[in-house]
Chain A
Amino acid sequence: MSLRSDSISVIRGGRAILDGISVELEPARLTAVMGPNGAGKSSLRKILSGEWPPDKGTVYLDNTPLHSLPPAVLARRRAVLPQEPRLGFPFSIEEVVRIGRYPWRGLATPEEDDTAVANALRAVGLAAPPDALYTRLSGGEKQRLHLARILAQLDRPAAAESLPCFLFLDEPTNNLDLAGRQTCLRLARRLADNGTAVFAILHDPNDAARYADNVWLLKDGRLFASGPAASVLTAPRLSDLFGVSIATAPANGTATVFFAREAPDPPETGTQWSDSGRL
């Protein structure tokens, strides 16, 4: 019961944006994926969620090649919260969440659909009424709403076989304020505790240290480090990965916080662009 990639590579424009990655997403684990911009985090998400076929290697879901599964079957096992969900039509909040029930048409009873939609809306703590229009929501509210849609998708009806699900979150805390960020990551944690395999692209090592079981670090399309969060997330390794000096400080007794140290100003070179006479 897992999602496993066997040395997958993705080539775009003659360049390997993912290069020989072998990883495994396990049920009941929250895996944080980190790396600098352009390291291949979103590409890995697209490969593992089935959106792109790999150019080399194979992804297996419970030992079946992932890309041979019909989209309808896959949609009952995994859900994806994309980086920038866009929707320009004035659906009501409740209608958007109900779209998440699409994979279960014919399998779920109308009561199960209603319950799944109501529970999902409650879980994300969206204050707006269910008939409020999507187009009037703020960026953060939209993000919470799409999270609710994904929760509704993962709510398995009684008629469906009980199987662990896979949840992909691509920078889920974008646009969210501090409270929204906590709601979102706590939800992801709770889903993992209930048996879901969660893949979350995160930027803040503190979020990863606090909520993740495993951490994968990506750099230039390769797996830079992977393993349990506590052993992977060290200040020297993160400094090396991101190219900034990262230090830790004790906080709240047992916890540790990561922070980027103030970098010294670059030395004066005397030929800065603003002195070139053109401005």
Chain B
Amino acid sequence: MKALGAAKRGAWLIPALAGVTLAVSLASLAHGTAAIPPGTIASILVHQAGLPPVFGAFAAHEEAIIMSIRLPRLLLGLAIGSTLAMAGACLQGLFRNPLADPGLIGVAGGGGIGAVAAFVLGGAVIGTLPVLEAWILPLFAATGSIVTTFLVYQLAKVRGVVSVPHLLLTGIAVNAIATALIGSLIFLATDDQLRRFAFWTLGSLQRAGWRECLPLLAVAAVALAWLPRYGRALDALLLGESEAYHLGIDLDRVKRALVLLCATAVGAGVAVAGIIGFIGLVAPHLIRLIAGPGHRVLLPAAALLGAALLVGADLVARTALAPAEIPIGILTALVGGPFFLYLLHRDKQRLVP
């Protein structure tokens, strides 16, 4: 029998995407208010590893720009872009709905409640515990994301079993409540708090420093390493829940693991960078168009594409109108929105031949 489609398609796709991600990453390190040539970047990175600067000399300010500004920002972009895309692909498989998104299980809505609470009520908390000042926003946003997802998951249980349609509907209801809560907190906010919250909802990697970066990298690494283990189970889940059960999948365990890993990884990203839409929708879709729906290729390929897309968007966001910075959510929505419309249009044509 001839060698198979998806495996063959994936064979060149993943190295190609890895190359693209690497190229975008290098461009992101090189470009900005001060251009730093690739040779100098290589020298700086080699120097950091304790080796002599074989690729030529570099100035101290160049090292400072790369090491304390661009590198943490790049790593943050890679981690958030890849987890958003991989979580999107996993949840689309779990919900058997190509339009599903981490927002559906309450990650974004819950993160929004946490963030607006941090802006509006954070002052009072910092007054009593000044140590928390730098941590208040990520702490509140991550807690909001994870608590809300947990709530959605628990509320979706019918006779002790989470049914996927119920999970979807519960997510919609809980998101509506979250929007109302965000609205009531906004009602209490001052103009300045409101402005900061509005920018947070548009997303940005601007706040990136090593302090924000390291915990997020750890969470993202766990999710990126663990989620692909469910690739074949997700393929089987596309047939339906009872079919997946008949094929030997422990549905409760798989659902719990997927929701928990996706919520934690996406929630951690939301906490640091705010709400960045459409990466989780667009990246998996582009991969499905090229390599088909099989998750063993889809999950790693979508993660690479998501990373490249977000790092590329961030490069545009900080260089297009420099020194001003465009919120990255605006860029991803500008590309993602029309793409979403295209998908709907294509599905409409498929439904009405």
Chain B's closest residue to A96 (CB) is B239
Contact B1 A79 (CB under 8 A): no
Bound-complex Cα distance A70 to B251 (A): 11
Q: A82-B243, A102-B236, A105-B232 are in contact. Are A95 and B5 (CB under 8 A)?
A: yes
Chain A neighbourhood of B1, CB < 8 A: 94, 114, 117-118, 130
Bound-complex Cα distance A94 to B232 (A): 14
B169 at the binding interface (Cβ < 8 Å): no
Bound-complex Cα distance A99 to B6 (A): 13
Residue interface bits A140-158, CB-to-B below 8 A is 1, else 0: 0000000000000100000
A103 at the binding interface (Cβ < 8 Å): yes
Residue interface bits A33-58, CB-to-B below 8 A is 1, else 0: 00000000000000001110000000
B226 at the binding interface (Cβ < 8 Å): no
Chain B neighbourhood of A95, CB < 8 A: 4-6, 235, 292, 294
Bound-complex Cα distance A78 to B232 (A): 19
Kindly provide the distance from the CB of B301 to the nearest chain A CB, expressed in whole angstroms. Answer: 16
Kindly provide the distance from the CB of A65 to the nearest chain B CB, expressed in whole angstroms. Answer: 17
* Chain B interface size range: 20 to 34
Bound-complex Cα distance A180 to B152 (A): 45
Q: Which of A70, A79, A90, A114 contacts B250 (CB under 8 A)? A: A70
B-contacting residues, A50-105, CB 8 Å? 50-51, 70-76, 78-80, 82, 85-92, 94-95, 98-100, 102-103, 105
A240 at the binding interface (Cβ < 8 Å): no
Query: For the complex, would chain B's binding face be called helix, strand, loop or mixed by DSSP majority?
Result: loop
Chain B neighbourhood of A70, CB < 8 A: 250
Q: Which of B232, B236, B246, B294 contacts A51 (CB under 8 A)? A: B246
| Residue of B2, B236, B239 with highest tally of chain A CB at under 10 A | B239
Q: A85-B239, A99-B236 are in contact. Are A92 and B246 (CB under 8 A)?
A: no
B344 at the binding interface (Cβ < 8 Å): no
Chain A neighbourhood of B248, CB < 8 A: 71-76, 102-103
Chain B neighbourhood of A74, CB < 8 A: 248
A-contacting residues, B1-16, CB 8 Å? 1-2, 4-6
Kindly provide the distance from the CB of A262 to the nearest chain B CB, expressed in whole angstroms. Answer: 39
Chain A neighbourhood of B233, CB < 8 A: 102
Residue interface bits B39-78, CB-to-A below 8 A is 1, else 0: 0000000000000000000000000000000000000000
B181 at the binding interface (Cβ < 8 Å): no
Q: Which of B232, B236, B240, B247 contacts A86 (CB under 8 A)? A: B240
Kindly provide the distance from the CB of A87 to the nearest chain B CB, expressed in whole angstroms. Answer: 5
Contact A79 B246 (CB under 8 A): yes
Chain A neighbourhood of B4, CB < 8 A: 92, 94-95, 98, 130-131
Bound-complex Cα distance A91 to B194 (A): 47
Q: Which of A71, A76, A88, A130 contacts B245 (CB under 8 A)? A: A71
Chain A's closest residue to B4 (CB) is A94
Chain B neighbourhood of A79, CB < 8 A: 246
Contact B242 A75 (CB under 8 A): no
Q: A74-B248, A102-B233 are in contact. List 8 more A-B contacts (CB 8 A).
A: A71-B250, A71-B251, A89-B98, A89-B293, A91-B293, A94-B1, A95-B292, A131-B4
Instruction: Return 5 A-B CB contacts under 8 Å, by A number.
Output: A71-B245, A85-B239, A88-B238, A99-B235, A130-B4
